[in-house]
Structure 1
């Protein structure tokens, strides 16, 4: 290449002295003055601050412990207006009449449910658990049906116990006939005479006849044999002394059942001689517990109480009443209210007093009210006497 073809050298102008600001550097070609001038201005460098910032202060002061209990503001809050959600947002409830199912729908639903239950039960019965449990369930059902049938059967057959109540035209049921009170030739009567000069009743064939009659009756009625004999003897006796009384031994048995359970109240037992194993006394008649107040009339000789009178013996005689109707029924030589023979005959004399006729419903009722003036007592005696009459004819 010729030297003339070389580009002219670009000589930089001499650097200027730095003053407050850097002078621009001019790069201008010598050969051409029309070329654009490039100005390289050096901008001032950014100031870097090396000042160390202060570290954040750490406070070592112990703060208050954090409370885990929720604070509740007990201040009365402002009442909010009540809005009933049932009236504004809830749709009105439809009437039950409109949603009632028809009988056909009820039967269909019941049949569907029964079918599903039967299928589920049959599937369960095929499983091992079902084969083990099902026989026990069936056995329990059979036992339950048997008990239910036993409770239901008396209502169907009419053998249910009847609570009898004395009415104006009903008498207790008649009992089995007593042995004849007319003695055979050479025998003594079954009942004693009220004549003090008459010989007492002894051990004779007539008494044996009465005992033979009373033995099965005692079993049927669950009454001690000595009590059955005493009641029957009292009926036979007043049939002669008070022919119009028409007293039956079952009435005396009903009274004896309510008064002392035939001489067995308080854990006592009735001995074969007609006396209980221990004396039977009623509560003191001091006016409490709906009892009439009766002060002592026998100095405690019969009832063991020198302050108040008390009912005595199997038929529960008050000492003053016993003095009026006392009698020796068994020929022991002493009238004893603790002896059921004497007490039963004294009760029969008391019931037949004032010419009462116990063969009528009204006469029977008045006689029992005279013995104990309580309506419930009349019904109780009637019920027991009626049951004894039916039992002897079973």
Structure 2
């Protein structure tokens, strides 16, 4: 009687079905991954494949022609006049509007222009015959910066002690490192002799008092004239 051969293969077991939550977890994970990819790519590629625009570049400084006028022959042109000084009413809003307008044309800082404009306003009331323009103060500051001076407008300590004044009515002491105070004190110094700086003789006399070097006054003249001309350009 023949013996029946026994199989050595392991019995087959049917595959167990996946738990019902596994497909849902895989789908959710795919959504999360897609969201991360979208977040990382937002702002990198713009519609149409165009790269994002470059950041705006700062405007270059206004070109200042080297005029080198002879002393006493001419004065810088008059710039856009600062607002009228109103002693009993705040003029901050008008000054800010004026400074922003002139800044757009001259490429100077609106903050600096506020200091120059305020000095012109105050001197217009304190020394009405001087006719000092903010443009001359801007020209002095331009030359001081070009020469690497440490302060906004550098004044001799003796001059500062005699002519310094606070540019704000806050009761504090004048600060030579504060551009508002430095500009106002410089304006007072330029107008101290009582000359009319709107005339060639008066402007050159006041500038030679500020700095006796003719080349210095010529550089101030060139910068002041350029800023004044730009401020009234259409």
Give the TM-score normalised by structure 2. Answer: 0.67
Q: What number of residue pairs does the alignment pair up?
A: 169
1:364 aligned partner: 203
> For the pair shown, which has the larger CA radius of gyration, 1 or 2?
1
The 3-state SS of whatever aligns with 1:337 is coil
Question: Cα RMSD over matched residues?
Answer: 2.1
Q: Say if 2:210 is the partner of 1:376.
A: no
* Counterpart among 76, 83, 86 of residue 172 in structure 1: 76
Q: Give the Cα–Cα distance (whole angstroms) in 2 for the partners of residues 254 and 364 of structure 1.
A: 13
Q: Say if 2:108 is the partner of 1:223.
A: yes
Write out aligned runs for 1:107-146 (5 A).
Answer: none
2:66 aligned partner: 163
Q: Give the Cα–Cα distance (whole angstroms) in 2 for the partners of residues 260 and 176 of structure 1.
A: 23
Q: Give the Cα–Cα distance (whole angstroms) in 1 for the partners of residues 197 and 125 of structure 2.
A: 15
- Check the 8 A contact 1:255/1:315 in 2, yes or no: yes
- Check the 8 A contact 2:82/2:118 in 1, yes or no: no
CA drift at 1:393: 1.4
Q: Deviations over 1:210-255 (max 9, x none)?
A: 1011102112212111110011110111111111111111011101
* Counterpart among 165, 172, 175 of residue 336 in structure 1: 175
1:351 aligned partner: 190
Q: Say if 2:123 is the partner of 1:317.
A: no
Q: Which has the higher contact order (CA 8 A, sep 6+)?
A: 2
CA drift at 1:354: 1.5
The 3-state SS of whatever aligns with 2:67 is coil
Relative to structure 1, the CA distance from residue 161 to residue 323 in structure 2 (aligned partners, 3 Å threshold; closer, same or farther) is closer
Relative to structure 1, the CA distance from residue 161 to residue 380 in structure 2 (aligned partners, 3 Å threshold; closer, same or farther) is closer
Determine which structure has the larger helix proportion and give its number: 2
Q: Deviations over 1:134-187 (max 9, x none)?
A: xxxxxxxxxxxxxxxxxxxxxxxxxx974323343321111113223347xxx5
Write out aligned runs for 1:163-242 (5 A).
Answer: 163-167=66-70, 168-182=72-86, 188=89, 204=90, 206-242=91-127
Q: Give the Cα–Cα distance (whole angstroms) in 1 for the partners of residues 199 and 217 of structure 2.
A: 15
Q: Give the Cα–Cα distance (whole angstroms) in 1 for the partners of residues 179 and 203 of structure 2.
A: 22
Q: Give the Cα–Cα distance (whole angstroms) in 2 for the partners of residues 322 and 379 of structure 1.
A: 23
Q: Give the Cα–Cα distance (whole angstroms) in 2 for the partners of residues 235 and 207 of structure 1.
A: 14
Q: Say if 2:144 is the partner of 1:259.
A: yes
- Check the 8 A contact 1:166/1:378 in 2, yes or no: no
CA drift at 1:331: 3.0
Q: Give the Cα–Cα distance (whole angstroms) in 2 for the partners of residues 343 and 383 of structure 1.
A: 21
Q: Give the Cα–Cα distance (whole angstroms) in 2 for the partners of residues 368 and 383 of structure 1.
A: 13
CA drift at 1:359: 1.5
